[in-house]
Amino acid sequence: MRVALVHDWLTGMRGGERCLEVFCELYPQADLYTLLHVPGTVSPVIEGRRIVTTFVQQLPAAARRYRYYLPIFPAAIERFDLRGYDLVLSSSHCVAKGVLAPGGPHVCYCFTPMRYVWDMYGEYFGRSAGLFTRGLMPPVAAALRHWDRRTSRRVDHFVAISRFVADRIRRFYGRSAEVIYPPVDVQRFRLAEDDPEDFYLVVSALAPYKRVDLAVAVANRLGRRLLVVGTGPHEARLRAQAGRTVEFLGWRGDDEVADLYRRCRALLFPGQEDFGIVPLEAMAAGRPVIAFGSGGALETVVPLDSEEPATGLFFPEQTVESLVQAVTRFEREAHRFSAKSLRARAEQFDRPRFKERIANYIEDRLAEAARC
């Protein structure tokens, strides 16, 4: 069976690339199509196959500033010739799902419809963006929305990473989607056995919509130590806001991040995410989560006062006061969290379960196509 994998871009190992890694293991002979590839930035499992890129690969500074080429991504992805493949499996949060797939069934594992032109346009291109960008983007975003909606019909079967994303697919594309949660490699994390150290942790890209500013402001107000792992365009502004108890660690490798999870008091997760791998990684290390009560976190974090063992608590509004109240409550009731229960919750999303579920789903869709 000839299989084509389609992924937006290969520039680092984030949650989407960890899903792609599983797809590569399921279909080790598959060809991989992507807008651009920065060699050495993804795992050997991904790097070790035939990777086909677009003309975006040759554009100036594409490796670092590829997002500036967003308006031409649709034209680039449509240039792939996927005739002759028995299965096209796209993993998409941007344009990968719009690929032309004239052969076998096209299954899209959808991280989200393009959120920066749909319901999070303001977070990406609002006041935090430059004047030129704010003036240019309205017609570009309108064209991208039209293309995104129209090309959703090229997908035979959508699979969403969460019920939150499945609802977006329904609203923006008018399509239904199966929900299969993405994988957490629980075995990467050692369960906390000692008492936590006296710091809170944020692991996040430093972009405005991630709302790391809330965590920094709360650490300033309460005088709590906060370690921030991540880089991004909002970093300079956050550093300027931070007080003496806040430390920015920049990018850190998987092993060091796993160690930070195990040692922290709790993970702060102040943004609205489509799913959110980071809270489950903290749980896998036996540490609780203080999360904004919206988006994918509602499907992974079990709050205090629920019937199941708690793995965290929510704050209802993206305000400093709301997060202050949540942190204060956590410090009163931290004794109610069990490291083993936190780990058990993360194991419900473990990598082998994802691999089995997605493999079975695709096999069923192929069997349906064969009967038609």
Q: Look-up: residue for tokens 């493999």? A: 359
Computed over its alpha carbons, how large is the radius of gyration of the chain?
Answer: 21
pLDDT of residue 135: 54
CA dist., res. 282 & res. 288, Å (int) = 7
Per-residue pLDDT at 127: 57
Cα dist from 209 to 64, 276, 298, whole Å: 20, 14, 18
Mean pLDDT of the chain: 93
Mean pLDDT of 311-331: 97
**DSSP secondary structure code for residue 338 in this structure:** -
| Best CA proximity match to 99, nearest among 26, 1, 4 | 4
| Superfamily for the 186-347 domain | Glycogen Phosphorylase B; (3.40.50.2000)
Q: Are 230 and 257 in contact (CB under 8 A)?
A: no
Residues 104, 86 contacting (CB under 8 angstroms)? yes
Please name the amino acid found at residue 39. Answer: P
Q: What average pLDDT score do residues 184-192 get?
A: 92
The predicted pLDDT at position 129 comes to: 57
Q: What DSSP assignment string belongs to 132-197? A: HHHHHHHHHHHHHHHHHHHHGGG-SEEEESSHHHHHHHHHHH----EE-PPPB-GGGSPPP-SPPP
pLDDT of residue 104: 82
Tokens read off for 75: 């034209």
Give the span between the Cα atoms of 106 and 33, in whole angstroms: 14
Closest CA to 20 of 42, 3, 40: 42
Model confidence at 117, pLDDT cuts 50, 70, 90, reads confident
Q: Range(s) for CATH 3.40.50.2000 in the chain? A: 3-183+350-371, 186-347
The span from the CA of 344 to the CA of 186, in Å, is 10
Instruction: Specify whether the CB–CB gap between 215 and 323 falls below 8 A.
Output: yes
The pLDDT of residue 241 is above 50: yes
Q: pLDDT at position 125, please?
A: 53
Q: What CA–CA distance (Å, rounded) separates 50 from 63? A: 19
Range in 128-132, 252-256, 316-320 with the lowest mean pLDDT:
128-132
| pLDDT higher than threshold 70 for residue 315 | yes
What tokens were used for 343? 């780990």
Report yes or no: 180 and 314 within 8 Å, Cβ to Cβ. no
- pLDDT at position 190: 93
Among 122, 111, 105, smallest CA distance to 7 is for 111
pLDDT in tens, 344-368: 999 999 999 999 999 999 999 999 9
CATH architecture of residue range(s) 3-183+350-371: 3-Layer(aba) Sandwich (3.40)
Number of H helices, E strands in the chain: 14, 13
Query: How many angstroms separate the CA atoms of 296 and 302, rounded?
Result: 12
Contact of 137 with 42, CB cutoff 8 Å: no
Q: For a pLDDT cut of 70, what percent of the chain falls above it? A: 95
* pLDDT value, residue 372: 75
Which parts of the chain are beta strand (E)?
Answer: 3-7, 31-34, 51-52, 87-92, 106-110, 157-160, 178-179, 200-203, 226-229, 246-250, 266-269, 289-292, 312-315
C-beta separation of 46 from 19 below 8 A: no
Mean pLDDT of 63-76: 91
